Amino acid sequence: MSKLRICVITGLSGSGKSTAVRALEDEGFFCLDNLPLTLLQVFVDLLEKSSERITNVAIVIDIRAKDFFKGKESLFKELREAGHKVEILFLDASDEVLVRRFSETRRRHPALEGASVRDAIQFEREHLAGLLQIATSIIDTSELNVHQLKDLILRLVCGENTPKIFNVHLQSFGFRYGVPLESDIVMDVRFLPNPHFVPELKAQTGLDSGVSEYLLNQPDTSEFLERLLSFLEFLVPRYQQEGKSYLTISIGCTGGRHRSVFIVEVLRRFLAEKQLSLKVSHRDMGKG
């Protein structure tokens, strides 16, 4: 029976707990938000008996849980004694920052019904003092944006040298059938000469050498590819730095059979040398 790694995310309302749990969810953690403490042991027991191979769990437990303050030390101790690894990340921020965040989002503070935000923050601090004392990591998010917080959480939980997986989806398509809605970048290559009008190439696709040679012999193709690859060389790392996990690049021609397929295959070879997870699809190549 495999033991669990349980990452408990707690702390002040407005300190960034939702950002933290989303970061771990993207890394494959099974995540639960607002779990009552009394159900934590039940949840762990269910996972131990489950046929699903879940080993990494992230749980947000905070003041919204009515039984939050009861038996936390003994429960965490029992889980550790059972062989589970329990980490408690306590997220905090200055009162001024928390007040500003609630003002900007216009959310109601969950700690104290009918009280001012400052009074609710003070009430919450007093009742979370016990958890603050047993936290394995205390994170002040006052000066962090969402991308910096996500990066810090991943380094704390997954390690400094954990590779960040950046997923790039390259897809060809035909404008005749509509632009893919999930696209982040759309490039229109209908300006290139169309192999569809070359009788011996009409039945081929951008995967065939005849189409590739035809397009590479066109003056605009080489210059376009040089500019496009330079553009992506600049752009892709900056999407990674911004904290994006997925990037979809869609290349379109009229029918999605020749030009767009060829260009996507060139991009496949170019991006294959980068440290990223690459997926390639030709949506409309078989149509028409």
What would the pLDDT profile of 239-249 be if each residue is shown by its tens digit?
Answer: 887 767 789 99
Q: Is 288 contained in some domain?
A: no
Distance from C-alpha of 203 to C-alpha of 201, rounded to nearest angstrom: 6
Based on the fold, state whether residues 143 and 172 are members of the same structural domain. no
pLDDT tens, residue by residue, 147-167 = 888 888 888 888 765 556 788
118 DSSP 8-state letter: H
Co-location of 210 and 142 in the same domain: no
Whether 63 contacts 124, CB under 8 Å = yes
Q: From CA 54, how far away is CA 43, in angstroms rounded? A: 12
Range of the domain at 38: 5-158
Alpha-carbon distance of 152 to 95, in angstroms, equals 21
- Angle (CA) 168 174 177, round 5°: 110
pLDDT of residue 264: 97
The answer to whether the CB of 270 falls within 8 A of the CB of 160 is no
In the block, tokens 């923050």 appear at 121
User: Of 108, 133, 158, which closes a domain?
Assistant: 158
- Whether 152 and 254 map to the same domain: the answer is no
The pLDDT, as a whole number, for residue 178 is 94
Specify whether 121 is located in the same domain as 9.
yes
Mean predicted confidence (pLDDT) in 174-196? 95
Do 181 and 93 reside in the same domain of the chain? Answer: no
Tokens 């569809």 correspond to what residue? Answer: 196
Residues listed for the chain = 288
**CA nearest neighbour of 205 among 92, 101, 121, 286:** 286
Whole-angstrom Cα distance, residue 209 to residue 201?
Answer: 10
Q: Is residue 201 part of a domain?
A: yes
**How many domains does the chain divide into?**
2
Whether residue 150 sits in one domain with residue 32: yes
219, 149 Cβ separation under 8 angstroms = no
pLDDT in tens, 229-268: 999 999 998 888 776 778 999 999 999 999 999 999 999 9
Residue 275 is predicted with a pLDDT of: 78
State whether 153 and 34 are in the same domain: yes
- Of the residues 123, 158, 193, the one at which a domain ends: 158
**Which of 101, 129, 158 represents a domain boundary (last residue)?**
158
**Residue 71 φ/ψ, nearest 5 degrees:** 70, 25
Per-residue tokens: 90: 């306590």
